[in-house]
Amino acid sequence: MPLLFNIRHLEHQTVTLRGELPVAELDLDGIDELIQANSPLHHDLEVERHERSILVQGRLGLKLRCECVRCLKSFDYPLAFDSWSCLLPLEGEDKVLVSNDCVDLTPYVREDIVLAFPQHPLCAPECRGLQPAPPSGRDQSSRAPATAELSSAWAELNKLKL
């Protein structure tokens, strides 16, 4: 069930929306292959009407399951909006869609959640990424350091005259 409220209920009082929204309602699948939302969205919102608009304020919380871009390990990423707000105009070009006196907040919540997705999810800031496995049958100490291999490869490329 989407996050709906009836604007007729706002004529004399504010409306409180508190509970959980199933993650399927947010339609977050396929946005980023490294980020998945598996738990419901927790919301605690107050909705009030002003002259020509509706103000929604409150808290939103969602736990994301991310994959580290460096080491590919899965980790939980809590996404919390402690003071989320949205102003919905009732008139003009950008007016909110009202269907049967009800307004659906789901698209506005979804947009802010997608914008808050981590750009490059890291399990820890100091994550060093995947460590190369030692070649089988050879002693690790007999190998030259990886940095020496990389620097010599770059040195050879720098010798090319194009």
Residue range 11-42, pLDDT digits in tens = 888 999 999 999 999 998 888 899 999 899 99
**The whole model's pTM is what?**
0.75
Q: How far is CA 123 from the centre of its chain?
A: 15
Return the pLDDT at 162: 73
Measured CA distances, 85 to 10, 44, 56, 93 (Å)? 17, 11, 5, 20
> In this model, does residue 58 exceed pLDDT 90?
yes
Q: Render pLDDT for 65-83 as a digit per residue (tens, 0 to 9).
A: 999 999 999 999 999 999 9
pLDDT at 141: 54
How high is the pLDDT of residue 148?
A: 53
End-to-end C-alpha distance for the chain, whole angstroms: 63
- Mode of pairing for the β-strands spanning 53-67 and 98-99: unpaired
Burial class (CB in 10 A: 0-12, 13-18, 19+), 26: buried
DSSP string, 95-112: PPPEETTEEE-HHHHHHH
